[in-house]
Amino acid sequence: MSEDTIYLDHAATTRPFASVTQTIADTQRQLFGNPSSQHAAGRAAKKLLEDARAFLRGSLGAADLVFTSGGTEADQLGVVGPAFSRPPGRVLAAASDHAAVLGLERVLAARRYGLVRVPVTPEGDIDPETLFEHLGKDVRVVSLLHGHNELGTLCRLDELVEVVRHVAPEAHIHVDLVQSYGKIDFDLDLAGVDSVAVSGHKLHGPRGIGFLATSSTARYQPLIEGGGQEGGRRGGTENVPGAVGLARAAERMLTHLGRNAEHCERLAARFFDAVVDEFPDAMRLGAQDRRVPHILSMRIPGVVGQTLQQRVDTRGLSISTGSACHDGKSGTSHVLEAIGLSTRDAREVVRVSFSAETTYDEAERAVDILVAEADRLLHLAGGASR
């Protein structure tokens, strides 16, 4: 990226902290031993790996933690693994859930498990009463998206967990924490859930590393068999530099969690207020009182989101039209369909996401660019410009 680029797509990925990249480089070069080896180099790498594991596990109040290649694998291990350790039955997930979970339908069906997409509210989350109606003794896993990656909505976790424990107490509750870990305080034990998934590159850590943290009672089958690494729960030589880098990033994010959250909330509010000043019919999507601090999903009627994203990109502003897992692909986002937007309205949605490193100056310059380009598009379409 050019030094002049304003990057506001942090829900897709973040730039690693300089201290993280330096830690990774040092580990790669100096502590490169295989953590399964019994010699001094292997033991040194093993200690780094276990220190990182202990820190991350403790940061969530978890009993155990398995490193994975990222959030997608962690989600799949947290959904398919527990399901396959139980008799065939149903797996529940929100109709607006991430593709990492909804894409498991065929995998589950091959073993006679059914993935049920639970309808969601206009804010993109599951209503506790709706979840109650879908629960039963045959439910093996309930997957919940804590902070929505496209809309920013925070699910009503306490209420949802209470309903599951009452109706299907044997079900495994998995929570996708990819957008909220390091940004919102979370304790797995206090939340009463069985597993959570985290991805390093969403919190200024490295790509290619994530983890599944679990409770003391969680049981699941491994998805990747191998040489007994990760206590037999995931085969393959561990990514020690990645694990160390993730722990370093998490430590910094958690140390400044409150300050960072307030900073991102202010940026998002000021950005949207500036948009509304120019386009009074602009709408912010997602729950207004329950959301992660860094995501702003909005719709400017009459302005096609993909066209707006392309135009601001030529002026050095990076935003998105939704999840990077489908951004740029044809068709309407399943998320926007799930919350009831028409095809036309869904085409007008863009997502702007901030980080602790985003400055007020960057946000102000960014909104000027976005407003100007949106105004030009309305003018070209013959609509009312500002």
- 284-302 pLDDT, tens digit each: 999 999 999 999 999 999 9
Amino acid at 339: I
Residue 325 among the catalytic residues: yes
Quote the pLDDT of residue 330.
52
Per-residue pLDDT at 329 exceeds 90? no
Nearest CA among 324, 336, 204 for reference residue 283: 336
b/e 64-94 (16+ beta carbons within 10 angstroms → b): bbbbbbbbbbbbbbbbbbbbbebeebbbbbb
Instruction: List, for residues 253-289, the tens digit of each pLDDT value.
Output: 999 999 999 999 999 999 999 999 999 999 999 999 9
Considering the four listed CATH numbers 3.40.630.30, 3.30.1360.30, 2.60.40.10, 3.40.640.10, the one that applies to the domain covering 18-254 is 3.40.640.10
CATH architecture of 6-14+257-380: Alpha-Beta Complex (3.90)
By the 8 A CB rule, do 358 and 294 touch?
A: no
List the catalytic residue out of 184, 224, 325, 372. 325
Quote the pLDDT of residue 227.
84
- Please state the domain extents for the chain: 6-14+257-380, 18-254
pTM over 0.85: yes
d(CA 272, CA 284): 8
Asked, colleague to colleague, whether 6-14+257-380 and 18-254 share their fold, the answer is: no
